[in-house]
Amino acid sequence: MLTFTIRRLILSVPTLLFISLVIFLLLELAPGDPMAQVPLTVPPEVKEKMREALGLGQPMHIRFWKWLVQFFWIEPQVMIDHYFGTTYAVGDLRVISWQTRSPVMDTVVQRIPQTLWVVGTAYIVGILIALPIGIYSAYRQYSVFDQCGTFVTMIGFSIPPFFTGPLLIVVFSVQLGWFPFIYDTTHVVDDWDSFVYQLRQMILPVMVLALQTTAQISRYMRASMLDNMNQDYVRTARAKGLSEAVVVMVHVLRNSMIPVVTVIALGMPAIFGGAIITEQVFSVNGIGSQLITALFANDLPTVQTLTFIFAMLIVFFNLIADILYGLLDPRIRYD
Amino acid sequence: MTDLSNQTPLAPPRSQWRNVWDQLKKHKGALLGGGFLVFITLAVLLGPYVWTLDPQKIDYRARDFRPIYHALFDADAKTAWANPLGTDQLGRDGLANILAGGRTSMAVGWAAMLLTLFIGTMIGVVAGFFKKLDGPLMRLTDLFLSLPILPLLLVAVTLFREPLRGNFGPEGGMFILIVAIIGITSWMPTARIVRGDVLALKEREFVLAARSIGTKPGAMIWRHLLPNVISPIMVSATLGLAAAIITESALSFLGVGFPSDFPTWGKMLADAVQRMEEFPERVMLPGIAISLTVLSVNYLGDGLRDALDPRIRGR
Residue-wise pLDDT tens digits, B32-58: 888 888 888 888 888 778 777 777 777
For residues B232-247, average pLDDT: 86
For residues A128-139, average pLDDT: 88
For residues B17-37, average pLDDT: 81
A135: closest CA among A146, A122, A123?
Answer: A146
Contact B148 A307 (CB under 8 A): yes
> Cβ distance B276 to A166 under 8 Å?
yes
pLDDT exceeds 80 at position B213: yes
| Predicted pLDDT at B115 | 94
How large is the angle between the packed helices A161-168 and B230-253, nearest 10 degrees? 50
Contact A273 B158 (CB under 8 A): no
pLDDT exceeds 90 at position B118: yes
- Write out chain A residues lying below 8 Å of B298, CB-based: 154, 157-158
**Closest CA–CA distance from residue A68 to any residue of chain B (Å):** 18
pLDDT exceeds 90 at position A81: no
A159: closest CA among B293, B110, B77?
Answer: B293
For residues B243-268, average pLDDT: 83
- What residue type is A279 in one-letter code? E
Angle at B49 between CA B48 and CA B51, to 5 degrees: 60
**What letters, b where the CB count within 10 A reaches 16 and e where it falls short, cover B158-196?**
bbbbeebbeeeebeebbbebbbbbbbbbbbbbbbbbbbe
pLDDT exceeds 90 at position B156: no
**Closest CA–CA distance from residue A318 to any residue of chain B (Å):** 8
pLDDT exceeds 90 at position A55: no
**pLDDT, mean over chain B:** 81
For residues B270-293, average pLDDT: 81
| Predicted pLDDT at B114 | 93
Q: Kindly state the DSSP code that residue B5 receives in the 8-state scheme.
A: S
| C-beta atoms surrounding B254 within 10 Å | 23
**Closest CA–CA distance from residue A190 to any residue of chain B (Å):** 33
pTM for the predicted model, two decimal places:
0.82
B 221-250: CB under 8 A from A:
242, 246, 249-250
Between B154, B266, B294, which is nearest A158 by CB? B294
Contact B290 A160 (CB under 8 A): yes
Best of B105, B142, B150 to disrupt the A interface by mutation (most A CBs within 10 Å)?
B150
| Predicted pLDDT at B257 | 75
pLDDT exceeds 60 at position B1: no
Q: Read off the pLDDT of residues A141-190 as tens digits, 9 standing for 90 and up.
A: 778 888 888 888 888 888 888 888 888 887 887 777 777 777 776 777 77
Q: How many CB pairs under 8 A join A and B?
A: 121
| Predicted pLDDT at A219 | 85
Provide, rounded to the nearest whole percent, the portion of chain A with pLDDT above 90. Answer: 0
| Predicted pLDDT at B82 | 66
- What residue type is B68 in one-letter code? I
**What letters, b where the CB count within 10 A reaches 16 and e where it falls short, cover B222-250?**
eebbeeebebbbbbbbbbbbbbbbbbbbb
Q: Which residues contact A264 (CB under 8 A, 6 or more apart)?
A: A127, A217
For residues B74-80, average pLDDT: 68
Which of B187-191, B240-244, B260-264, B297-301 has the least mean pLDDT?
B260-264
- Write out chain A residues lying below 8 Å of B162, CB-based: 31-32
Best of A8, A147, A163, A298 to disrupt the B interface by mutation (most B CBs within 10 Å)?
A163
